[in-house]
Amino acid sequence: MLKSIYEEIKKYDNIVIARHIGVDPDALGSQFALKTAILYNFPNKKVYAVGSKSARYNYFPKLDKYERIDNSDTLLIVVDTPDKKRVDISNFDTFPNVCKIDHHPFIDKFGSLEYIDINSSSASELVLRFFKENNIDFLKDTAEYLYYGIVSDTNRFLFNTTSETFRIVSDLVFRYHIDIEKLYKNLYARPFSEVRFQGYISENMKLTENGFAYIIISNDVLLKYGVDSSSAGNMVNNYNNIDEVLAWATISEDVKNNQYKFNIRSRGPIINNVAERYNGGGHAMASGARVNTMDEVELLINDLDNVCRIYREEE
Ligand code: AMP
């Protein structure tokens, strides 16, 4: 399959690379690694990395503006996204040929060629596999994008990390002389307001008797601490390995979209099938959802609490 995707890339002079909404370093890492490696090997092709930007990740290059309406001669490659509705592109249906490279559990088939490996640490690891299988050379910037993606999606090698992940990362660091500390500074430097905000979350998170911890963060609180709803969502990664907590969520008000955003994590109960019932999804132990009303917020909290209860009973 990875060879066939490469054959498609060779055929097209125009290539657009997209990824999911609610961007993160693995989505950007896999997207820019692919873009830079294609351009390095085919300097005459036009390659666009598209999607909405986020100031938080300004250590990645700028995203491209892409507004062509006739895309009959253009290949669309989607990375790190299992479902069509979450591809961050407005004119998806104008692309006659779409390829997918993803590590999420399957949701939609939207591409003619789809390479999916849900056991892989990250989409960036799969893009690296794509390069290796096709003997595609690349430079240090590409290697750094891959490193950002793998390190961030494994939460610095805590999750979905195998000996293969260590092997390929070690190889990347060795071959390209990657300055790990510089990259970690980009990934993990944060303003003090976020640290104070984390204190607020720790202090105010509720814990049910079934081991579900959650906090609803209103827009007023976000304004008070000077953080946005995506920084609030990132906080969810700080609450793993707490004895009393089986699954946990941050639920932040997103006034711009008039929604509540769930960032959900688990260290046992399967949560993605619960998120899917609320227009969300993700991995078994790391999922997200967006709901429109406080009633739905409460229903989803109840359902997540329930999977914790069942998990405990079956343990
Ligand atoms: P996050 O908490 O944003 O890091 O997301 C964790 C996982 O859930 C990632 O694999 C996301 O792609 C997925 N995810 C987050 N939000 C949604 C959503 N609204 N719908 C489907 N999948 C989501």
Q: Considering only CA atoms, which of 231, 227, 228, 232 is closest in space to residue 215?
A: 232
Do residues 265 and 240 both lie within one domain? yes
My answer on whether 123 and 233 are in the same domain is no
**Whether residues 48 and 91 fall in one domain:** yes
Residues 179 and 36 grouped into a single domain: yes
Q: Which of 287, 292, 297 to mutate to test the pocket of ligand 1 (most atoms within 8 A of CB)?
A: 287
The minimum-distance atom of ligand 1 relative to the CA of 261 is 19
**Residues 14 and 162 both lie in one domain:** yes
Q: Are residues 19 and 153 in the same domain?
A: yes
**175/41 same-domain check:** yes
d(CA 146, CA 139): 11
- Same-domain status, 13 and 58: yes
For the CA of 263, the nearest atom of ligand 1: 2
pLDDT at 160: 87
So what's the pLDDT on residue 50? 97
Last residue of a domain, one of 155, 172, 187: 187
Q: What is the pTM (predicted TM-score) of this model?
A: 0.90
Domain housing 106 = 2-187
Same-domain pairing of 27 and 154: yes
Ligand 1 first shell, C-beta below 6 A: 20, 22, 24, 86, 104, 233, 236, 263, 280-283, 286-290
Domain-terminating residue out of 143, 172, 187: 187
Same domain flag for 200 and 89: no
State whether 63 and 209 are in the same domain.
Answer: no
Alpha carbon separation from 275 to 82, 157, 315 (Å, rounded): 14, 25, 22
| Alpha carbon distance 260, 288 (integer Å) | 11
CA of 295 to the centre of ligand 1 (A): 21
Give distance in angstroms: CA of 166 to centre of ligand 1.
25
- Which domain-ending residue is among 157, 187, 217? 187
Which atom of ligand 1 is nearest to 272's Cα?
8
Give Cα 53 distance to the centre of its chain. Answer: 14
Cα of 72 from ligand 1 centre, angstroms: 31
Q: Looking at the structure, do residues 177 and 64 belong to the same domain, yes or no?
A: yes
Return the CATH number at 53: 3.90.1640.10
Q: Mean pLDDT for each consecutive 10-residue tract of the chain (315 residues)? A: 97 97 94 98 98 90 92 97 95 96 95 96 97 98 98 92 94 97 94 94 97 97 89 88 97 93 97 95 94 97 98 90
Cα of 44 from ligand 1 centre, angstroms: 35
User: What is the count of structural domains for the chain?
Assistant: 2
Q: Are strands 206-207 and 247-254 parallel, antiparallel or unpaired?
A: unpaired
Q: Check which CATH number belongs to the domain holding 211 and give it.
A: 3.10.310.30
Sheet containing strand 74-79, edge to edge, reads 46-49, 14-18, 74-79, 97-102, 113-116
